[in-house]
Amino acid sequence: MSLGRQTAPSVQMGLGQRSAFRQGGRRGPCVRWEGGPACRPSLGERQVRCSACQAGARLGQACRGRGRRLPPDMLTIKLPQLFDIHQVPRVFREDGIISGYRHPRSSALDCILSSFQMTNETVNIWTHFLPTWYFLWRFTMLCSSLDFLNESYTWPLLVYMVLICLYPFTSSCAHTFSSMSAEARHICYFLDYGALSLYSLGCAITYGAYVMPDCWVNSWLHQNFVPIAVLNTLICTGLSCYSRFPELDFPHWSKVVRTGAFVYPFLFDNIPLFYRLLLCLGDSCSHTEALSSHCHHLLFAFLTCFLFASHLPERLAPGRFDYIGHSHQLFHICAVVGTHFQMEAVLADMSSRRGWLSAHSALPSFPGTVGALGVGILLNLAIIGLFSATLLWAPNGALSPCPPNHVPSPRRLEQKEK
Ligand SMILES: [Zn+2]
């Protein structure tokens, strides 16, 4: 299937074409992938096109009546074309999403503009872009009430707040620019996974500092919680980026690997919380002030994971939830609501346990907080750079991450499709 850049169809139509629409002709002016079927514009698109044509025709008549001729481009309004699932390459297709796909070789400007047009990615973009501003606002409020520069007790929270602003912003950008090319799509989601992985590191840093049960403070796990989390972030980013390679040929395997890549650090980060909730509930170490927020967070985290793995509801009714209500949008919403409750729980633990923690354990150190974040960022960028370089420059099919069954790389699959 050829993927050459094609311009969006013009809405300027001749009388015959317009009457074809009105006489029940279901096919408008078409963009056709080589060898692919003709496109069928949506009802809304047809209405916009027809009114644009009528306006253009009236303008043309008025100008002809005055003996002037307008350049053809002035009578032409170009609208971004959306595509159905069979019109885009396999790598762009989503389970249960039938329509609303953007051009697979959109320009960066088209991608930005598409966030204001209803496509199957629009709600994905906004459900993480708006929460970014909410978390930034909360961060600014905390900056005015806490001394992040001089009080080392607040550094774990500083790292956490930076990362809960970063991950939805990166995700929003990834969804915005993922239709520039197949390679760009993979790299956008590599960065998205990296930001999520760093968020899990931020959770570990902040849980290690504020959420650890009293009886585990200064234990081996407490001392090594952050270094293990740095290692986890490498495993998480590596596995999640790898999971994109076998995605087309082995979608279930890819899904299992990707889900496992994020569930594993989540479970590790929450070990102290699970202990507080399950084994010392009611004792002094449970610190009930924060527990309801922690429970809400866990509930939304479970929902997030379920939606990510299940592809519900669009799996039950393919095409019904293309624009609004599909699982990825719900996944985004549950993730940010869960993060909100997690932030409230961390703030509650941080303030209510400050005296006890300061008296019974060492204050958080710069290397264990900001330093760990810096190391995490560098290592994640290195992994993402490695996967991106493999994707862009490896000889055909010679990608190393898939030796067992000689799984073709995304790049090779793209070439096979051509
Ligand atoms: Zn997403």
Average pLDDT over residues 225-254: 93
Q: Residue 346: which domain range?
A: 122-393
The per-residue pLDDT for 399 is: 37
User: Is the per-residue pLDDT at 69 higher than 70?
Assistant: no
Residues 303-320 have a mean pLDDT of 90
Annotated binding site for Zn(2+): 175, 328, 332
Query: Distance between CA 216 and CA 208 in Å, rounded?
Result: 10
What confidence category does residue 247 fall into, taking pLDDT thresholds of 50, 70 and 90?
confident
Quick check: helix, strand or coil at residue 10?
strand
Q: Are 159 and 206 in contact (CB under 8 A)?
A: yes
- Residue 51's pLDDT is what? 37
In this prediction, residue 138 has a pLDDT band, given cuts at 50, 70 and 90, of: very high
What is the 376 CA–ligand 1 centroid distance (Å)?
21
> Ligand 1 centre and the CA of 190: distance in Å?
12
Distance 173 CA to ligand 1 centre (A): 10
Q: Return the number of other C-beta atoms located less than 10 Å from residue 29's C-beta.
A: 18
* Per-residue confidence (pLDDT) for residue 203, from 0 to 100: 96
- The stretch 375-388 carries a mean pLDDT of 96
- Residue 366's pLDDT is 94
For residue range 16-30, list pLDDT tens digits in order.
Answer: 333 332 333 333 333
CA of 123 to the centre of ligand 1 (A): 10
Q: Which long-range contacts (CB under 8 A, 24 or more apart) does 348-352 make?
A: 348/289, 348/290, 348/293, 349/210, 349/211, 349/287, 349/289, 349/290, 350/153, 350/154, 350/157, 350/209, 350/210, 352/287, 352/289, 352/290
Domain count, the chain: 1
| Spacing, Cα 144 to ligand 1 middle (Å) | 31
Distance CA 308, CA 327 (A): 7
pLDDT per position as a tens digit, 169-207? 999 999 999 999 999 999 999 999 999 999 999 999 999
Q: Which amino acid is at 55?
A: A
Domain presence at residue 66: no
| Distance from residue 172's CA to the centre of ligand 1 (Å) | 7
Q: How many Å lie between the centroid of ligand 1 and the Cα of residue 168? A: 8
Ligand 1 center–CA 68 separation, angstroms: 51
H-helix segments, 178-321? 182-206, 220-242, 251-269, 271-278, 291-310
Judge whether 42 lies within some domain: no
Examine residue 295 and state whether it is found in any structural domain, yes or no. Answer: yes
Do the beta carbons of residue 90 and residue 244 sit within 8 Å?
no
On whether residue 166 sits in a domain, the answer given is: yes
pLDDT band at 161 (very low <50, low <70, confident <90, very high): very high
How far apart CA 317 and CA 360 sit, in angstroms, is 56
pLDDT score of 365: 93
Which range is least confidently modeled, 58-72, 102-116, 211-225?
Answer: 58-72
pLDDT over 70 percentage in the chain: 73
- Do you find a cis peptide bond into 367, omega within 30 degrees of 0? no
Q: Give the tens place of pLDDT for each residue, 382-412.
A: 999 999 999 888 655 433 333 333 333 334 4
Name the residue with tokens 């959420």.
Answer: 211
- In the structure, ligand 1 is a single-atom ion and the residues with CB under 5 Å from it are 171
Kindly tell me the number of DSSP H helices and DSSP E strands found in the chain. 14, 0
CA–centroid distance, 126 to ligand 1, in Å, is 10
Confidence at 336, pLDDT banded by 50, 70, 90:
very high
Predicted pLDDT of residue 61: 47
**CB 125, CB 177: distance < 8 Å:** no
Decide if 100 contacts 124 (C-beta within 8 A): no
CA-CA-CA-CA dihedral for 278, 155, 168, 133, to nearest 10:
120
The predicted structure's pLDDT at residue 309? 87
pLDDT, residue 215, reads: 87
Q: Quick check: is 183 in a domain? A: yes
Task: Look at 365 and 414; give whichever has higher pLDDT.
Answer: 365
Place of tokens 């009105």: 22
Question: Would you place residue 340 in the very low, low, confident or very high pLDDT band (cuts 50, 70, 90)?
Answer: very high
For ligand 1, the distance from its centroid to the CA atom of residue 403, given in whole angstroms, is: 28
In 3-state terms, what secondary structure has residue 316?
coil
What are the structure tokens assigned to 330, written together?
A: 């719900």
User: What span, in angstroms and rounded, lies between the C-alpha atoms of 346 and 344?
Assistant: 6
CATH number, domain at 310? 1.20.1070
66/96 Cα distance (integer angstroms): 53
Q: Are the C-beta atoms of 36 and 101 separated by less than 8 Å? A: no
Examine residue 52 and state whether it is found in any structural domain, yes or no.
Answer: no
**Could you report the per-residue pLDDT of 253-287, keeping only the tens digit for each?**
999 999 999 999 999 999 999 998 887 766 656 56
Query: Is 179 within a domain?
Result: yes
- Check whether 59 has a pLDDT greater than 60: no
- Fill in the amino acid letter for 49: R
The confidence score (pLDDT) of residue 409 equals 38
pLDDT of residue 98: 92
CA distance 218 to 81: 59
What per-residue confidence (pLDDT) applies to 79?
57
Residue type, 19: S
What pLDDT shows up at residue 279? Answer: 78
User: Domain for residue 156, yes or no?
Assistant: yes
pTM of the entire structure? Answer: 0.76
In contact, 101 and 87? CB cutoff 8 Å:
yes
